[in-house]
């Protein structure tokens, strides 16, 4: 038994931390969140060319480096610390995993090298206006038309939907319901009949889109009608990635709170000497450490691709969602009035925590899913 990162993994963390600190200062986050694309293409290119982050867990035969989810988790945690504005989550956690899980060898060979090199920004479009994260939420119909496939319907809350030049879409055959009849397709970002609308997001650091499909010609990905197990696994893997991102953000706001509690003086003493504040920080630490344990363990399970993954993915998503939100809320409280202002970064984390909690299903959703998965 060994629950520690290896030396190489620690080195990766150092490299990514330095990079993200340099490229994702608070000023830069604020600048990018006010732009429509919401990321810096130069940084995206550097992530691919200098650090190889987009190719990290893509197998070598498809142009990647063949690392595991543990390395990926490190990258997400470090990005989460600094709220890096980037289509990395959409491309790597969602689209890449969907292609890896669903695609044939030829399809992977066609799609993944572009992602690995940073040329392709990709996303996964599966949520719809009904806001559900389960199989029944998918109502978009895929129909065969003259030997090809055509998509009609609307996808919502598509992360970086406007930035993606490759969109993986989940749709179903007419007359099917639940987990049956779901298939994956790919379309390009500029496909004819596709209307993309950037959404006004509560959390401005991660962009979302509405995608309206009107007779959009689509390319099948994987076996027709067999998409659910690959999608379910993709959502679990993405939940693992997001959990690690949340753990990183939670640690960062804890550090912010503790720093402030040491220097802010009221009643003639640092507020951190009062138990009311000290105990809040202690509880935050307990939750942050626990969130990390859950996130790291789930990353290992995802890397091993073992039968534990569905349970630990839901466990990790539920716990990290609550812990991150709680930490960001306490961070505002500990900062007092300044923590409520626009110019203080506390609200950026507070909003990111809430949006991350809701994306892929909130804690309540995942506790129920967990109950089902452990046979309650």
Q: How far is the CB of 16 from other proteins (least distance, A)?
A: 17
Q: CA-CA distance, 108 to 92, in Å (whole number)? A: 14
Residue 294 touching other proteins (CB under 8 A): yes
Which x/- pattern over 216-255 shows residues binding other proteins (rule: CB under 8 A)? ----------------------------------------
**113 part of the interface to other proteins, by CB under 8 A:** no
Which residue, 223 or 282, has its beta carbon nearer to other proteins? 282
Kindly write out the interface string for residues 33-72 of this chain, putting x where it contacts other proteins by CB under 8 A and - elsewhere.
Answer: -------------------------------------x--
Q: Quote the CA–CA distance of 247 and 17 in Å, as a whole number.
A: 14
Query: In residues, how long is the chain?
Result: 376
- Of 30, 137, 297, 347, the one binding other proteins by CB under 8 A: 297
Within 10 angstroms of residue 145's Cβ, the number of other Cβ atoms is 10
Euclidean distance between CA atoms 81 and 91, whole angstroms: 19
Nearest approach, Cβ of residue 2 and other proteins (Å): 5
CB of 269 to other proteins, least distance (A): 7
Q: Pick the closest to residue 125 from 152, 96, 158, 95 (CA basis).
A: 158
* Dist. CA 147–CA 65, nearest whole Å: 36
| CA distances to 58, 62, 69, 113, 306 from 66, in Å | 5, 9, 10, 13, 17
Two structure tokens written together for 278? 């000290």
Number of residues interacting with other proteins: please give it, by CB under 8 A: 44
Task: Give the nearest distance from C-beta 319 to other proteins in angstroms.
Answer: 5
In angstroms, rounded to a whole number, what is the distance separating the alpha carbons of residues 231 and 284?
34
Any contact of residue 371 with other proteins (CB under 8 A)? Answer: yes
Alpha carbon distance, N-terminus to C-terminus of the chain = 29
Binds other proteins by CB under 8 A, chosen from 7, 36, 275, 307: 275
Nearer to other proteins, 85 or 277 (CB): 277
Q: Does 102 bind other proteins (CB under 8 A)?
A: no
Q: Exposed, middle or buried, 374 (CB in 10 Å: 0-12/13-18/19+)?
A: exposed
Residues that bind other proteins (CB under 8 A): 1-6, 9, 70, 258, 261-262, 269-270, 272-275, 277-279, 281-283, 285-286, 289-290, 292-294, 296-297, 300, 312, 315, 318-319, 364, 367-368, 370-371, 374, 376
């Amino acid at each position: 038994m060994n629950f520690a990162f290896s030396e190489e993994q620690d080195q990766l963390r150092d490299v990514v931390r330095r990079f993200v600190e340099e490229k994702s200062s608070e000023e830069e986050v604020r600048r990018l969140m006010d732009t429509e694309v919401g990321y810096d293409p130069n940084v995206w290119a550097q992530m691919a060319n200098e650090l190889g982050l987009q190719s990290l867990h893509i197998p070598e035969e498809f142009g990647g480096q063949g690392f595991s989810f543990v390395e990926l988790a490190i990258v997400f945690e470090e990005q989460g610390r600094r709220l890096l504005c980037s289509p990395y989550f959409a491309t790597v956690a969602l689209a890449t995993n969907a292609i890896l899980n669903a695609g044939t060898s030829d399809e992977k060979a066609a799609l993944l090298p572009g992602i690995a090199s940073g040329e392709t920004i990709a996303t996964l479009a599966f949520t719809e206006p009904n806001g559900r994260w389960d199989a029944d939420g998918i109502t978009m119909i895929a129909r065969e038309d003259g030997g090809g496939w055509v998509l009609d319907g609307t996808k919502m809350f598509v992360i970086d939907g406007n930035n993606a030049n490759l969109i993986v879409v989940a749709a179903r055959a007419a007359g099917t319901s639940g987990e049956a009849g779901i298939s994956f397709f790919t379309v390009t970002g500029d496909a004819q009949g596709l209307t993309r609308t950037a959404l006004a997001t509560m959390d401005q650091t991660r962009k979302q889109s509405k995608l309206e499909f009107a007779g959009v010609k689509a390319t099948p990905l994987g076996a027709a009608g067999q998409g659910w197990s690959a999608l379910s696994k993709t959502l679990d893997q993405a939940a693992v990635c997001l959990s690690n991102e949340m753990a990183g953000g939670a640690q960062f706001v804890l550090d912010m709170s503790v720093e402030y509690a040491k220097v802010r003086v009221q009643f003639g003493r640092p507020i951190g000497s009062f138990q009311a504040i000290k105990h809040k920080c202690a509880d935050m630490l307990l939750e942050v450490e626990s969130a990390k344990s859950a996130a790291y363990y789930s990353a290992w399970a995802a890397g091993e691709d073992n039968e534990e993954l569905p349970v630990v993915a839901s466990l990790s998503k539920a716990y990290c969602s609550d812990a991150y939100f709680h930490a960001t809320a306490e961070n505002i409280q500990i900062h007092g009035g300044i923590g409520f202002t626009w110019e203080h970064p506390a609200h950026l984390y507070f909003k990111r925590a809430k949006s991350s909690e809701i994306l892929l299903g909130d804690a309540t959703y995942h506790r129920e899913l967990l109950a089902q998965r452990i046979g309650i």
